[in-house]
Amino acid sequence: MKIGLDSIGFYTSRYYLDIEELARARCVDAAKYKVGLGQNRMSVAPPSEDPVTLGANAALQALEGTPREDIAALLFATETSVDQSKAGGIYIHRLLDLPSRCRVVELKQACYGSTAAVQFAVALVAREPSSKVLVVASDISRYGLGSPGEPTQGCGAVAMVVSAKPRLLAIEPEHGVHTEEVMDFWRPNYRQEAVVDGKYSARLYTQVLLETFEQYKRESGRGLGDIQHFCYHLPFSRMAEKAHAALHKAQLGAAPGSKTLQVQIGDTLHYNRQTGNSYSAAIYAGLASLLDRSEQPLEGRRVGFYSYGSGCVGEFFSGVVQPGYRRDLGSAARLEMLSSRNALSIEGYEAMFNYAIPTDGSFLEIPIHDVGRFRLAAIRDHKRIYEAVN
């Protein structure tokens, strides 16, 4: 039985800061951000967007054409949760009118949470093949104004329906996985911004890639040449290029040429360059980017996935693109969404970054912004009030 991704939705904020604008304000050569990190724009969430609204908008796309009553579980992966107790997915469950006979839970392991959710969804569908599971990965990345991580900030959400007879991608069972307790990136409960040792984190990311790929190779009997495209976790786009070069060197003794690099990962990077880091969503935003942007049909091609969540858990696995995947893909809406966003000035970005909500239970009506179909409208008695827009 094939099990895998039946549909995909991707959504990011309607506001962005051009990375050259940030470089000017921080007195840094723009080439460092554009070439050195591979970023062009940074998505900025207005006060009325949070991981719940971003996720609900992505889920709305992913559910198009899927009867709501088919969804037996909603797995919400985030590391920028809006509540310590209640799963953010429960708000999405209501906003999207999902059936009450539906399990909802939130998962967290830094940027790896989404891959845990996908693998758990596959297991749930294997037990009950007539059911479908909605996976939503959604995050807003924050490192702090003027910090080394600032140019990699961003936000976004990806939603995927996992089913038997998947229309987009059949997930293969072989995988490599590595867990190790390390402190490369974390965010204590009292902090709004992550604490990160960026260089150490990038080294671990690469080491764990090499280890998990070896495991995957042993288990599957497949090598690098059996995989045509690679979706990497994308803290910034250049991280994928560097990791892919390291994987080639370890497996084949030499780094890939620029043409090979372009064919194998080029199309996966486009959305990340426009949004910045979306943590748990980033790797699957790479998949949406590949499916939407590839000029060559991808039917029958194998895609390798490397998911890395600081702290850390890494996993390498693969999937095969299904015949007819383009039929209901919905690429046009995503391309239109990305090309019709609002540019912010540096002052506009900093004002959104610094916007704070009350922590004493007092009422706050959130200003109106350009958003998708859902928004955070107010805070009342410590409750977040979400509503559908138009």
Q: Dihedral, CA atoms, 50, 52, 54, 59, nearest 10 degrees?
A: 180
Q: Cβ 185 to ligand COA, closest distance in Å?
A: 6
The Cα–Cα gap between 114 and 107 comes to: 8
Find out whether 115 and 283 touch, Cβ atoms under 8 Å. yes
Residue placing its CB nearer to ligand COA in the complex, 257 or 300 = 257
Q: Is 79 a catalytic residue?
A: yes
Q: Determine, following the binding rule CB under 6 A, whether residue 155 of this chain makes contact with ligand COA.
A: no
**Nearest residue relative to ligand COA (C-beta):** 36
Which of 111, 155, 231, 312 is catalytic? The answer is 111
Q: Cβ 288 to ligand COA, closest distance in Å?
A: 20
Q: Determine, following the binding rule CB under 6 A, whether residue 199 of this chain makes contact with ligand COA.
A: yes
Residue placing its CB nearer to ligand COA in the complex, 201 or 268 = 201
User: Which are the contacts of 321, defined by CB distance < 8 A and separation ≥ 6?
Assistant: 168, 169, 291, 298, 299, 300, 301, 302, 303
Applying the rule CB under 6 A, the residues between 284 and 313 that interact with ligand COA are 308, 310
Which of 175, 178, 233, 270 is catalytic? The answer is 233
Q: Cis ω on the peptide bond leading into residue 312 (within 30° of 0)?
A: yes
Find out whether 208 and 314 touch, Cβ atoms under 8 Å. yes
Q: Is 231 a catalytic residue?
A: no
How wide is the angle at C-alpha 75 spanned by C-alphas 71 and 80, nearest 5°? 145
Q: Determine, following the binding rule CB under 6 A, whether residue 36 of this chain makes contact with ligand COA.
A: yes
Q: Determine, following the binding rule CB under 6 A, whether residue 366 of this chain makes contact with ligand COA.
A: no
Which strand ranges, in their side-by-side order, compose the sheet holding 71-77?
A: 103-107, 71-77, 132-141, 154-164, 3-11, 169-179, 313-321, 302-309, 229-232
Q: Which sign, positive or negative, has the C-alpha torsion 279, 280, 286, 292?
A: negative
Applying the rule CB under 6 A, the residues between 220 and 279 that interact with ligand COA are 235-236, 239
Pair of tokens at residue 231: 């979706």
- In the chain, the largest separation of any two C-alpha atoms, in whole Å, equals 61
Q: Cβ 102 to ligand COA, closest distance in Å?
A: 32
216 CB burial (10 A radius; 0-12, 13-18, 19+)? buried
Q: Determine, following the binding rule CB under 6 A, whether residue 203 of this chain makes contact with ligand COA.
A: no
Q: Determine, following the binding rule CB under 6 A, whether residue 152 of this chain makes contact with ligand COA.
A: yes
Residue placing its CB nearer to ligand COA in the complex, 89 or 309 = 309
Residue placing its CB nearer to ligand COA in the complex, 29 or 226 = 29
The Cα–Cα gap between 135 and 188 comes to: 25
- Say how many residues touch ligand COA, by CB under 6 A: 20
Q: Is 175 a catalytic residue?
A: no
Q: Determine, following the binding rule CB under 6 A, whether residue 26 of this chain makes contact with ligand COA.
A: no
Rule CB under 6 A: choose which of 40, 48, 80, 201 binds ligand COA. 201
Q: Write b or e for each residue in 7-26: b if 16 or more Cβ atoms lie within 10 A of its Cβ, otherwise e.
A: bbbbbbbbbbbbbebbbebb
Helix, strand, or coil here: 50?
coil
Q: Determine, following the binding rule CB under 6 A, whether residue 343 of this chain makes contact with ligand COA.
A: no
Applying CB under 6 A, the span of 29-37, 118-126, 253-261, 263-271 interacting with ligand COA comes to 29-37
Q: Determine, following the binding rule CB under 6 A, whether residue 32 of this chain makes contact with ligand COA.
A: yes
Binding residues vs ligand COA (CB under 6 A): 29, 31-32, 35-37, 148-149, 152, 196, 198-199, 201-202, 205, 235-236, 239, 308, 310
